[in-house]
Amino acid sequence: MTSRIYLDHAATSAPKPAQVAQRLSRYFLEEGFTAGRGSYARAAEMEREVSVARAALAVLLGAESPVQILFTHSGTESLNLAIQGILGPGDHVVTTILEHNSVLRPLAALSNRGQIDVSYVEPNAAGVIDPQEISRAMRSETKLVCVVHISNVLGTIQPVQEICELAREHGAYSLIDASQSVGHLPIDVKEMGCDLLAAPAHKGLLAPLGTGILYVKPGIENELQPLLFGGTGTKSESPMQPDELPSRYESGSLNVPGIIGLAAALEVVTPEFVVQESARQAKLTEQLIEGLSKIPGLKMYPFNASPTAQAGVVSLSIAQHDPRVIGTILDEHFQIEVRTGFHCAPKTHDWLKTAPLGGTVRISIGHTTTEQNIKTTIAALQEISVSMG
Ligand SMILES: Cc1ncc(COP(=O)(O)O)c(C=O)c1O
């Protein structure tokens, strides 16, 4: 067992539950088949386990039916499928400066080709988007509103339900990037009112890397174009992509080890687990923010967020020191693993004015984080702050 403290859960959750390791060990040693492709019983069993994961996700997210959940290979792929699948020439998009590059870059690519126009909304001083600012940015040709649920730099929770409602009133689709919230906060897609919700499964859902999901509200499939075309294991006699969900969007062999690992993880990540974990992680976040706020020379971002509006992610800097130096000291001298830099969210750092510094030090909490981990981290940063001045 390692005595290192892992505080980079916003990148991926680690370590994964024992159930995931045990299931994958059996898969690799005794199985290794594809799903939905073979005429033998053991391939059908793989397909059944994929369906179990889909059904468990539908329950966890309050989706109308399991087929509304699509499997992808990452949060990035889910966001690309949603963005590239829904937008066409002449469309306008409203998004925010808090977005990850997996939203900013596909939008920039479409915009650079002259196909779409994008408006970027800034948050208030507490790092929260005011839905009225979204409303003000809307145009008659706005097709999509795309907002991150929890900023992966600031940890601030966005008012996504109000934003989805505004989008609907304006006749635009809503896409929520739930990469940092799925598995960390209870989510009900019908209550949220989103049309599309994208997330990795390897973060809060505790599945292996190489897994992502996209929730598609019933009816959106009439508008949403697939990102990939190819073999689906269904209607193979036709060269045309099938219309049915989920196969319309799941071309190519599925990541079976990833998905059956997810099925095993979802035995742990039940709706009750998410309720308990969200309360536990909120307490740890408050403990961290309170402790760090007493350290002279340490700055947290945003400056005046309420600890209760921040979930699991805290960004900081110490004086004018390069965040990479602080990250290395935490790693080498204190065995604490954090992420440093821009966290793939360049516009957030322009807004925070942390770009010249090289970004921030980011601490992110997850299912294995303990109160003692937080105490040790606060003490380490106190020591670093004092010694570096
Ligand atoms: C807010 C946000 N969106 C999207 C992603 C991309 O997810 P993935 O790493 O699974 O592609 C991340 C991952 O860091 C994220 O934090």
172-184: pLDDT as tens digits: 999 999 999 999 9
> What pLDDT score does 377 carry?
98
> What pLDDT score does 42 carry?
87
| pLDDT digit string, tens, across residues 327-351 | 999 999 999 999 999 999 999 999 9
Contact criterion met (CB below 8 Å) for 257 and 346: no
> What pLDDT score does 264 carry?
98
Atom 16 in ligand 1: which residue has the minimum CA distance? 152
Phi and psi dihedrals of 343, rounded to 5?
55, 35
Tell whether the model's pLDDT for residue 100 goes beyond 70. Answer: yes
152 in contact with ligand 1, CB cutoff 6 A: yes
Atom 7 in ligand 1: which residue has the minimum CA distance? 75
Tell whether the model's pLDDT for residue 229 goes beyond 80. Answer: yes
| pLDDT digit string, tens, across residues 60-99 | 999 999 999 999 999 999 999 999 999 999 999 999 999 9
Q: Which residues of 47-178 form beta strands (DSSP E)? A: 69-72, 91-96, 116-121, 142-148, 173-177
Distances (CA, A) of 237 to 232, 233, 241, 242: 11, 10, 11, 11
Buried-exposed string 5-24: b where 16+ CB fall within 10 A, e elsewhere: bbbbbbbbbbebbebbeebb
CATH architecture classification, 5-15+271-388: Alpha-Beta Complex (3.90)
Tell whether the model's pLDDT for residue 122 goes beyond 70. Answer: yes
Residues 255-272 have a mean pLDDT of: 98
Which ranges constitute the DSSP H helices of 170-255? 189-192
- Centre of ligand 1 to C-alpha 60, Å, is 20
> What pLDDT score does 361 carry?
98
Domain boundaries defined on the chain: 5-15+271-388, 18-268
Q: If you search the block for the tokens 């792929």, which residue do you land on?
A: 77
The sign of the dihedral angle between the CA atoms of 346, 352, 353, 358 is negative
Q: Which residues of the chain form beta strands (DSSP E)? A: 5-6, 69-72, 91-96, 116-121, 142-148, 173-177, 196-200, 212-216, 298-301, 313-318, 336-337, 339-341, 360-364
> What pLDDT score does 304 carry?
62
> What is residue 310's three-state secondary structure?
strand
Contact criterion met (CB below 8 Å) for 96 and 159: no
Mutate to test the pocket of ligand 1, among 77, 81, 102 (most ligand atoms within 8 A of CB): 102
> What pLDDT score does 40 carry?
87
102 in contact with ligand 1, CB cutoff 6 A: yes
> What pLDDT score does 76 carry?
98
> pLDDT band at residue 39, thresholds of 50, 70 and 90?
confident
148 in contact with ligand 1, CB cutoff 6 A: yes
> What pLDDT score does 305 carry?
59
> What pLDDT score does 308 carry?
62
Residues 257-263 have a mean pLDDT of: 98
Note whether 5-15+271-388 and 18-268 share their fold: no
Q: Which atom of ligand 1 is nearest to the CA of 200?
A: 10
| pLDDT digit string, tens, across residues 301-312 | 986 656 667 789
- Centre of ligand 1 to C-alpha 192, Å, is 20
- Centre of ligand 1 to C-alpha 206, Å, is 14
179 in contact with ligand 1, CB cutoff 6 A: yes
212 in contact with ligand 1, CB cutoff 6 A: yes
Q: Which atom of ligand 1 is nearest to the CA of 74?
A: 10
What's the mean per-residue pLDDT of the chain? 95
> What pLDDT score does 271 carry?
97
> What is residue 100's three-state secondary structure?
coil
- Record the tokens describing residue 112, joined without a space: 């650079």
Rg (CA), the chain: 21
> What pLDDT score does 388 carry?
87
Q: Which atom of ligand 1 is nearest to the CA of 150?
A: 1
Residues 96-112 have a mean pLDDT of: 98
> What pLDDT score does 234 carry?
87
Tell whether the model's pLDDT for residue 208 goes beyond 80. Answer: yes
Q: Which atom of ligand 1 is nearest to the CA of 148?
A: 1
149 in contact with ligand 1, CB cutoff 6 A: no
18-268, CATH topology level: Aspartate Aminotransferase; domain 2 (3.40.640)
Residues 356-384 have a mean pLDDT of: 97
- Centre of ligand 1 to C-alpha 104, Å, is 12
Tell whether the model's pLDDT for residue 1 goes beyond 60. Answer: no
